């Protein structure tokens, strides 16, 4: 069955495909791509009348497959608390940079602030905007190629219930927050005794992240998902026209 088209998919087809995928996941197959789950979701996202049963089923499938693959997992409140602590560490580093008379210490404090804020604000941005548009989250986990950076898992049933514009905003929020953070730290440089190389180092952190987003995130991560949901939004608007 195609993902989009002029004919609305039959209810029985969608229910049957979801039931088959859920049964396969319950039996231990967590390869959702091979099971056709992600292509089915593209159909659900543009369906004019998705039912609660479909969305709840999709949420269960995604959650069971995720929990079978990913460990350890941490409560959302704990992850948010740790990241908020990181934000406070960055603020304390900036305060030290401003009040410290030693140029090298001030420089290192600004660099610490830029790094702490970049790491800490990313998932907090996702969480804050996600909750604002109705998306809930299941847990934090260790993400990235080396499994050392924090990741935040969405509750996919609530993700699908949010508008595509809201989903796009959630994906963009974390990326924007982490890229802006080094330049916020840089804004405090004139108020410190830090030498010029400190400003260049902090600016470099921000520029490197922007380049990384252009090279990698547009193909694999947040900006790819942002663009995907923008396309879904356009498809939904076209279907309503």
Torsion of CA 142, 214, 164, 240, to 10 degrees: -160
Which tokens sit at 45? 């996202």
H-state helical runs in the chain: 11-26, 37-46, 52-69, 76-99, 103-132, 156-161, 164-187, 196-212, 218-220, 222-240
CB 150 within 8 A of CB 143: yes
Burial tier of 111 (Cβ tally within 10 Å: 0-12, 13-18, 19+): buried
d(CA 91, CA 183): 14
pTM of the model: 0.90
**pLDDT tens-digit profile, the chain (241 residues):** 334 444 555 656 888 999 999 999 999 999 999 999 999 999 899 988 889 999 999 999 999 999 999 999 999 999 999 999 999 999 999 999 999 999 999 999 999 999 999 999 999 999 999 999 999 999 999 987 667 889 999 999 999 999 999 999 999 999 999 999 999 999 999 999 999 999 999 999 999 999 999 998 888 889 999 999 999 999 988 877 6
CB 39 within 8 A of CB 58: no
Q: Where are the domains positioned within the chain?
A: 11-69, 73-240
- Residue 71: CB atoms within 10 A of its CB come to 8
| 47 SS3 class | coil
């Amino acid at each position: 069955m195609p993902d989009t088209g002029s004919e609305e998919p039959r209810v029985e087809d969608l229910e049957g495909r979801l039931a088959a995928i859920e049964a396969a996941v319950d039996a231990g197959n967590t390869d959702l791509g091979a099971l056709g789950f992600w292509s089915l979701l593209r159909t659900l996202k543009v369906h004019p009348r998705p039912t609660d049963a479909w969305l709840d089923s999709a949420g269960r499938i995604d959650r069971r497959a995720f929990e079978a693959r990913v460990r350890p997992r941490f409560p959302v409140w704990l992850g948010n608390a740790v990241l908020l602590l990181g934000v406070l560490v960055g603020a304390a580093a900036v305060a030290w940079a401003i009040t410290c008379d030693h140029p090298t210490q001030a420089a290192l404090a600004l660099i610490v602030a830029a790094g702490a804020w970049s790491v800490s604000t990313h998932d907090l941005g996702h969480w804050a905007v996600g909750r604002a548009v109705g998306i809930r989250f299941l847990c934090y986990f260790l993400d990235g190629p080396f499994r050392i950076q924090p990741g935040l898992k969405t509750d996919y049933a609530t993700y699908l219930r949010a508008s595509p514009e809201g989903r796009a905003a959630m994906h963009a929020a974390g990326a924007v927050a982490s890229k802006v953070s080094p330049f916020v730290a840089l804004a405090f440089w004139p108020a410190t005794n830090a030498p010029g190389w400190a400003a260049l180092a902090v600016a470099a952190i921000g520029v490197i992240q922007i380049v990384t987003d252009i090279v990698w995130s547009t193909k694999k991560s947040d900006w790819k998902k942002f663009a995907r949901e923008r396309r879904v939004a356009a498809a939904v608007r076209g279907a309503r026209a």
